[in-house]
Amino acid sequence: MATGAEGEAALFSQIDSERFGVRVARAHVVPGNLSRVLAFCSAEQIDLLIARCATSELVNAQEMETMGFLLMDTLVYYSFDLGKRTIPDDAPRAHVRKFVPGDEAEVERVAAEAFQGYFGHYHADPRLERGKCDKGYVSWAVRSCTSKQVATEVLVSERDNRIVGFATLRLNTPEEGEGVLFAVAPEAQGMGIYRSFVVDGMRWCKEQGVKRMVVSTQLTNVAVQKVWCRVGFEPAHSYYTFHKWFSNGNTMELVRSTRSSFSVGEVATFSRTFTQEDVQTFSTLSGDANPVHLNENFARETRFRGRIIHGLLVASLISSALGTTLPGPGCVYLSQQLSFRAPARVGDRLTAKVRVTDWDAIKGRIILATEVVNESGVQLIVGEARLVLSSFLK
């Protein structure tokens, strides 16, 4: 269960946190909210953030990658229009019925067998224990049987009076139903039971009066996508799933830079596109309410001919490149010299570039040339940063 205030950028996941023994949050990243997501994680001392963003929002995905997010899977959704298309006939080879209390143990058994070795976003993360990842799907199946918040209906399939599969269904909205979690025991796979579940799920959604049914899976799960296409589903949309660790996953201590050597000429970059919401947030936090940043009518009468982004907000990208990549986590600023050459505007793709010009291995001090450019290559800020590795601080 995820908890958080209404409208919160991210939610604390109690279930994931208890399962893996670290503080886990979940978020859906959309243009303009990543800074709020990260602020939530900082305030709540989150160790692992599981974040999804639409694959159509490549700028979001690229920004997350520059901040150390790692891609774990791609989730694809298919949709069936119940108002315009005919549900196909099905001749099941096993009896399908609704779940009844007392079936929980059999559903748990089927889930444990069916999802053994399954490779979802949990399994793709090398920091998460494989056994606990497997149990996540088993727990999901059992909770579907006991909580209407997890699943509105559960179907089971029987052969020889033994449950060999299950399907969980949920009403997302008055117009949309979803086939959420399907599983068939290894002994019964290849017999058309999965197809029967999909078709019966479509019928159930039709009975609920919804307009469409959706299903989803990992992009690499080609077998089930073939079944969906054969019964009339069509691709709808997709999401990237990223994991971002803020701790080492065991002691919850902040990860320090493990690098002990740097080479002159090394380069790192960090890119971001600021929104007007970001500018407003920076103005509120810093107290800098200069109308050249906030009031378009005022700014239009200045030499800039429109609003510009705060110079120090743009310069913060340099700090991001330094703190996340080069030198990386654990570095500490000693000084930063800045010279502002040109303005940046909302919607510009900005890139901070840092380049090592000197490295003192005895004192752990490093000097880097710094700059920020826009998508046209125009140099907006130039300067020099001096830092020390925290491991050299007494």
> The domain 80-238: what is its CATH number?
3.40.630.30
Phi/psi of residue 19, nearest 5 degrees? -70, -45
Largest distance between two CA atoms of the chain = 81
pLDDT at 33: 86
pLDDT at 213: 97
| AA letter at 271 | S
| AA letter at 204 | W
| Per-residue buried b or exposed e for 125-137, using 16+ beta carbons within 10 Å of the residue's own CB | beebeeeebbbbb
pLDDT at 90: 78
Classify strands 24-28 and 176-184 as parallel, antiparallel or unpaired. unpaired
CB-based contacts of 83, cutoff 8 Å, min separation 6: 211, 212
Q: Under CATH, domain 267-392 is a member of which superfamily?
A: Hotdog Thioesterase (3.10.129.10)
pLDDT at 48: 94
Task: Give per-residue pLDDT as tens, 170-229.
Answer: 999 999 999 999 999 998 888 889 999 999 999 999 999 999 999 999 999 999 999 999
The domain spans of the chain are: 2-74, 80-238, 267-392
pLDDT at 327: 86
Do the two domains 80-238 and 267-392 of this chain adopt the same fold?
A: no
Task: Give per-residue pLDDT as tens, 80-135.
Answer: 999 999 999 877 677 889 999 999 999 999 999 988 777 789 988 888 888 888 88
pLDDT at 259: 56
Q: How far apart are CA 136 and CA 111, in angstroms?
A: 10
As given in the structure block, the two tokens for residue 298 are: 């005022």
pLDDT at 8: 66
pLDDT at 111: 92
SS3 9: coil
pLDDT at 5: 41
> Which residue numbers in the chain have pLDDT < 50?
1-6, 249-258
pLDDT at 394: 59
